[in-house]
Amino acid sequence: MNLVLREFRRNIKGLLGVTLTGCLLISLLAGLSAFLSQPQREIIYNLLGRLPSQIRELYHIQQIENTEHLMAFIYQLIIPLGCVWAIYTSIKMISFEEKEGAISFLYSLPISRQGILCYKVLSSIFQYLFFVLLTGLTAFLWFIPLEGNGFIPLSAAYSVTMLAGGTLMEGAIYLFVGLLYAMKPNAVKRPFLSGLTLYIISYAIGIAAQTVQRLEILRYLSPYTYAVPWKVLQQGIAPIEFALSFAIIFMCIGLALFIYRRKKLVL
């Protein structure tokens, strides 16, 4: 646990930064909506509704009719933030010692490479969980002014749980994809750019799968079709998405462990 805490402490500034950004984003959009009068709100929702159907389809923008729909719309912005952070933190954490030159120090301690990897991954999971919980709590609290009747309906708790669950699942996939990417030599050089690129590429795969018939099989490789907030609210997380995400996670862990054990020490 020594290593988990150390990693957590080392990343605390970045973690607080991304979590606060997420909370701020939720508060900004939800707050804007809460302080607008009903006719003003309807104007904005109509504007969104008037976007070309292709664009609305592409970005999963549906008609906003209630607070749950608004939160689903906001979560579409939170998920990419969390996912890019998950890859970034995963890459940075694994190859941090390489960058700092402290790798021989870490490897000289009585801990196996598998142990190092597992503790670091555990720390990344805790960090991502921290992000999901705090953004989820913020979203949950915004139901009070948005609903306007002084209490939070039970359905709000369910909606936020589902949305946070989707964010958690999608982020977990990216976290482990980032873990695998971190095995690449010199992966630590531009972790944020790498994270952003990986996310954009996988999103583009989803759009391609949606628009090109022949590529439809690739749809499950993309966050574009995974845990889409609107669908999550309506149908929950599909079992096939669960199964596939666990398959991807296990594959990434297995490969990362295999490579990390044989990884050449960069001195």
Partner 1 sequence: MSILTAVGLTKHYGRKCGLHNLDLQVEDGEIFGLVGPKGAGKTTFINLMMDFIAPTKGIVTLFDMDCQNESREIKKYLGYVPAEGSFYPSMRVYRLLKYAANFYDDVNESYIDNLCGQFRVDMHKRVCDLSYGGLKRLAIVKALMHKPKMIILDEPTLGLDPIMREQLLEALRYEQATGATVFFAASQLYAMNEICTAVGVLQDGQLTDQKSIGKPAEHREKIVKIRVDGDITELIMSLGAKEYMKKDGVVSFLYNSDLNRLLKGLSKFDVEDIYVEDIPLERTLNYYLHEEGEVLA
* Choice between 39 and 110, CB closer to partner 1: 110
Note the Cα 203 to chain centre separation in Å.
13
In angstroms, the CA 138 to CA 163 distance is 12
Q: Determine, following the binding rule CB under 8 A, whether residue 108 of this chain makes contact with partner 1.
A: yes
* Choice between 16 and 109, CB closer to partner 1: 109
| Nearest-approach distance from CB 19 to partner 1, in angstroms | 22
Q: Determine, following the binding rule CB under 8 A, whether residue 104 of this chain makes contact with partner 1.
A: yes
- Residues 61 to 100 in contact with partner 1, rule: CB under 8 A: 97, 100
- Residues 21 to 40 in contact with partner 1, rule: CB under 8 A: none
| Nearest-approach distance from CB 101 to partner 1, in angstroms | 4
One of 13, 55, 65, 110 touching partner 1 (CB under 8 A): 110
In angstroms, the CA 104 to CA 113 distance is 12
**Nearest 10 degrees: Cα torsion 244, 247, 251, 254:** 160
Cβ neighbours of residue 30 under 8 Å, at least 6 residues apart?
Answer: 70, 71, 74, 139, 142, 145, 146
One of 2, 53, 149, 213 touching partner 1 (CB under 8 A): 2
67-100 vs 2-35: helix crossing angle, rounded to 10? 150
One of 101, 148, 153, 185 touching partner 1 (CB under 8 A): 101
Nearest CA to 135 out of 28, 12, 242, 11 is that of 28
Q: Determine, following the binding rule CB under 8 A, whether residue 12 of this chain makes contact with partner 1.
A: no
| Nearest-approach distance from CB 105 to partner 1, in angstroms | 5
User: 65, exposed or middle or buried, with CB in 10 Å at 0-12, 13-18, 19+?
Assistant: exposed
One of 17, 115, 148, 153 touching partner 1 (CB under 8 A): 115
Give the residues lining the site for partner 1 (CB under 8 A).
2, 6, 97, 100-105, 107-112, 115, 262, 264-265, 267
